Amino acid sequence: MDVRSFVKKQEAALKKYRRLYKVLDFLGTAIILYLLLFYFRIDQVFPYISSFEVRAGTSYDILGASIAFETVALSLIAAFFSLIITVIRHLRDDKTKAIPLIEEQNPELHEKLRTAYDNSDENNLIVADLLSSVSSKIAVIASSALLTKRKLVIGVVLILLSGITTVYIIDNDIRTNLFDQGQLGDLVNNIPGLGNGDSSSGNDVYVFDDSGNEDSSSSGTENLTGDTAIIVQDGKEVDLTIPAGSGVGFEEGDTSEESDTDFDQSSPYERSIISAQTYDEELPEGYESIIKEYFEALAEAD
């Protein structure tokens, strides 16, 4: 067997195994972090965060399955922190090359394998004899010999146990009783620039009770000309923003109630006075007598 080809093959296998350890560690840590986030009700905080309040309660259609926004958000948060933890944990990993590990596992190759590898391009009787001796011994060495089975077993078991536990807790909605959603919301609202109860941002949440009155526990002032204002009515968020030019205070098609009162409207002036004034007006020539008779008849009818 060619020594250089053997060493390159073992180096590639060693890198693959080390990546596998990191992936298993990342998945196990992410599942545990998701479990902790769900147990401590972090998904119930999203309606109180200005960046997430609009998406809270929605769902996404992924591969034909409806997945809640809270599930996706918790998964991303868990994956982000799991990546950081995994990178930190593996910063000091053993980065020993394949040759020293193989020589450690096979004492008969100690110093011989690296010597043969370094001098594989030489062409003399001593090197040829060394290469022949080393090749016969490495022919029976498999790449799986570099796999640390203990790390592999621990990683798989950790993923299985944490996954089963997470499914059970989510299915039964097991959560901590140390605090509730309202307490978490108050905590988030006290963080400047994060909670949607920050009055300076204009994104206030107004909670109304069943009778339609504003809950006294809610805080902030309504800002209809600023950013979006939200109220929570029966657990649902309602946007109170009035678009510019929409006619504040009026509804389209709003008409006043018609009166059914039937009455005859009186004249603003007495007809006798109106008739009397016509005699002073300049009448068309030839029609004076006819017009005078008309007004006299009209006055007599009163």
Res 200: pLDDT: 42
Tell me: do 223 and 290 sit in the same domain. no
Tell me: do 225 and 106 sit in the same domain. no
In terms of DSSP H, where are the helices of 119-176? 125-138, 149-171
Q: Helices 288-301 and 271-278: crossing angle, nearest 10°?
A: 170
Which one has a higher pLDDT value, 139 or 285? 139
Looking at the chain, the number of H-run helices and the number of E-run strands are 9, 5
Check pLDDT > 80 for residue 96.
yes
Phi, psi of 111 (to 5 degrees): 70, -20
In a domain, 49, yes or no: yes
Tell me: do 19 and 132 sit in the same domain. yes
Confidence of residue 12 (pLDDT cuts 50, 70, 90): very high
Cα(115)–Cα(20) distance, integer angstroms:
30
In a domain, 216, yes or no: yes
Helix, strand, coil share (%) of the chain residues, nearest 5: 50, 10, 40
Confidence of residue 24 (pLDDT cuts 50, 70, 90): very high
Domain, as residue range, for 244? 197-251
Report how many domains make up the chain.
Answer: 3
Cα 107-112-114 angle, rounded to 5 deg: 110
In a domain, 223, yes or no: yes
> What pLDDT digit, counting tens, does each position of 75-95 carry?
999 999 999 999 999 998 888
Tell me: do 51 and 147 sit in the same domain. yes
Cα(31)–Cα(159) distance, integer angstroms:
7
Res 35: pLDDT: 95
Check pLDDT > 60 for residue 249.
no
pTM of the model: 0.61
The first and second tokens of residue 25, run together, are 């560690």
Tell me: do 132 and 235 sit in the same domain. no
Res 203: pLDDT: 46
Our measurement of the distance from residue 88's CA atom to the centroid of its chain's CA atoms, rounded to an integer in Å, reads 26
The first and second tokens of residue 82, run together, are 């799991």
Tell me: do 138 and 230 sit in the same domain. no
Provide the residue type at 17 as one letter.
Y
Q: What is the dihedral of CA 240, 245, 251, 254, to 10 degrees?
A: 180
Q: Helices 98-105 and 3-39: crossing angle, nearest 10°?
A: 100
Tell me: do 17 and 164 sit in the same domain. yes
